[in-house]
A and B are shown apart, each in its own frame.
Chain A
């Protein structure tokens, strides 16, 4: 029997894998020690657990364990990377380059840096969510200290060519940070092969617990340093103070190890299911995939169903199927997704978008159910839509002079 509701919002967060939870539990109770307590076995056990997890986490991205700084999640990692580099390399320059479709944890951190006197260039994306590398390179000045480009986008799943960007960074002697929150554990990420200097990721997007993440900071060729943004007891080689979240870190470690083992088979299975979902839904007239379909994470699909509004559409099934929408109505701001707008999507298409993100526990039965319910909902909402009726009568909705709102 199909169990409802179905969860297809794995880009927002994933459930904790039971194997992860099981590994964490003892660290709440009998192994509760503070990993920084050097004077007794409670502390030693905690430290040992953190060291072991650090190896598991490092391995996922082919880093050295010493290059991993544990944080509270990708938001903190991004803040530490950007603000930390900005402060540490102030004598070298004050210019940072990033892209318009980054997560708010990058964009708002950049705004903060601008307030401090930094210069930030935001590279635009094309209609498929991709950046022009020549434009990126030409934005570099002698004041540029850092380029930060996300590994894969959280709304449309588009993967950026990090290796090529790294080559540009190398030519100009600029550091490279990537927010790999959505990519780590889903597709191979290799900080050595891809020449990455700083990398953010988080446990709760890869079947680990919420509230724990890491920043990779390269130690060799070149040796990268960041100024701490959290002062205190000098944990994590003084780059991030605060008592270690031992159970969380243990869970993160196991999550990384499982992802590494199962990445290939998960990706293959999920891309098949995603493609089935997508090709079935694209049979609906006037439905469009957002983001370059060839350079995408295997488990994400973002589709605009023209002439229906995303929230109105979701209401038809959101008791049974959990997805997210770029529609304004789902956010507090009443603005549709800035990521979709950055792709040049008209507000109407942005309002009509639904993001499906599959995960390790998604089944084919769930996908079949979703195809059926989504199709019914789109057809129902189009019957209700004056825009659909106009489209069917051959009226170009874009040519109508809508009253200024």
Chain B
């Protein structure tokens, strides 16, 4: 299968690879997927509590190139956004931006799930209600 230029670019030069301290109150962590399915994403955000803005985002992903690219793109997109804004992320935006073929749509769904899981982890840690997650498309 041929990959789009953008998937290749994110794969070869992934943005924001790394780990934030998950014990910090300002950090939210989302860990989604399963090794059996061939994809695991861990996406973390660091939030400025004053402004409710994401000041940093990091990821690590076990998966195919499209999964790596989806999570790399998601971290780029998150930085500088407010939590409310970030929770509107839609997987189809990732599909479009990376030109993912139908068999790879689940990678974008996973990235969306990871973002929302990270936001909820932060919210719950800070005594806020978790946002409602929409039913995933694929899994």
Contacts and interface: CB of A to CB of B under 8 A. Distances in A.
Interface of A: 307-309, 311-312, 315-316, 327-329, 332, 334, 336, 346-348, 351, 383-389, 397, 402-405
| Interface residue SS majority, chain A | loop
A251 B41 CA distance: 50
21 contacts: A309-B38, A309-B63, A311-B65, A312-B11, A312-B64, A315-B11, A315-B65, A316-B11, A328-B38, A329-B63, A334-B103, A347-B35, A348-B35, A384-B60, A386-B60, A386-B61, A387-B40, A387-B62, A388-B62, A397-B35, A405-B36
B138 to A, nearest CB: 8
B28 interface: no
Contacts of A397: 35
A312 B37 contact: no
A389 to B, nearest CB: 6
Closest 8 CB pairs of A and B: A402-B34, A348-B35, A347-B36, A386-B42, A386-B60, A311-B64, A405-B139, A315-B65
B42 A327 contact: no
A39 B17 CA distance: 74
B17 A405 contact: no
Nearest to B61: A384
Contacts of B3: 315
B31 interface: yes
A402 B36 contact: yes
B33 A389 contact: no
Grouping DSSP codes into helix (H, G, I), strand (E, B) and loop, the B interface class, with mixed when no group exceeds half, is: mixed
B61 A389 contact: no
B32 interface: yes
A30 B11 CA distance: 52
Interface in B23-77: 31-42, 60-65, 67-68
Given A309-B64, A351-B38, A402-B35, 9 more contacts: A309-B39, A347-B35, A384-B60, A385-B40, A389-B60, A402-B34, A403-B34, A404-B139, A405-B34
A387 B139 contact: no
A386 B11 contact: no
A386 B40 contact: yes
B23 to A, nearest CB: 13
Nearest to A405: B139
Contact of B14 (A307, A336, A384, A389): A384
Contacts of B139: 404-405
A125 B62 CA distance: 29
Contacts of A403: 32-34
B29 to A, nearest CB: 10
A308 B63 CA distance: 7
